Structure 1
Amino acid sequence: MFKFRSLLILITALTASLLSGCFNNEPTDSLDGEELYSYYCKQCHKKDGSGDPIAGFPANKRTQLLEEQVILLIRKGDPARPAMPVFPQLSEEQAAAVVDYLFNLKGQ
């Protein structure tokens, strides 16, 4: 009985670990700024970039930062903004695509 239960647990754990990759919707190879923004930024900064100042999420579409500064903020962070998560998994090109999308929101 012990061997069967151990085998069942092992099979269940292996199946769960293999299937976990099937449900990961992270856009790892995408260069679509809107898709990347929706995945990484929308939860805090809203789809339109208006943020939620009461909850402490700034309206990123009103940023005064330069594009290069926002790319660095996304990928490396900023000690002056400790609440902002860092996304080092994004390539320079992906971060630039997010910034392009964000700056298009600024124009709206």
Structure 2
Amino acid sequence: MKILYKSTRVGKDGIPFKMYKIRTMVSGADRMGPCSTGLGDQRVTRLGWLLHKYKLDELPNLFNVLKGEMSLVGPRPYVPEDFATLPREQRRTLTKVKPGCTSPATLLVPFEEEAI
């Protein structure tokens, strides 16, 4: 199993890019359910929960920052399929800036799974 996971995401000006993360789910998880996870999601490995809890799975996003595709803080990047379902005005607003490694909301509520 590969350690890094890459996924096509929508970037600034609607330009797609490959976003890198440390794999926290079982192989093929993207075909088994939604892109987001919740507490108790069986697709996430034990080590994956630990990495995800402390946001360590996002460290490879720094490579995207160095390439100029992402910023440290900004709206989280959407997969194209989910992005297409958003209202037009929201899509326009999201693509005005680079997506971020973390969102402003995550800075306010760092352990969102526990807060919900």
- Which structure shows the higher helix fraction? 1
Larger radius of gyration: 1
State the TM-score, normalizing by the size of structure 2.
0.29
State the TM-score, normalizing by the size of structure 1.
0.30
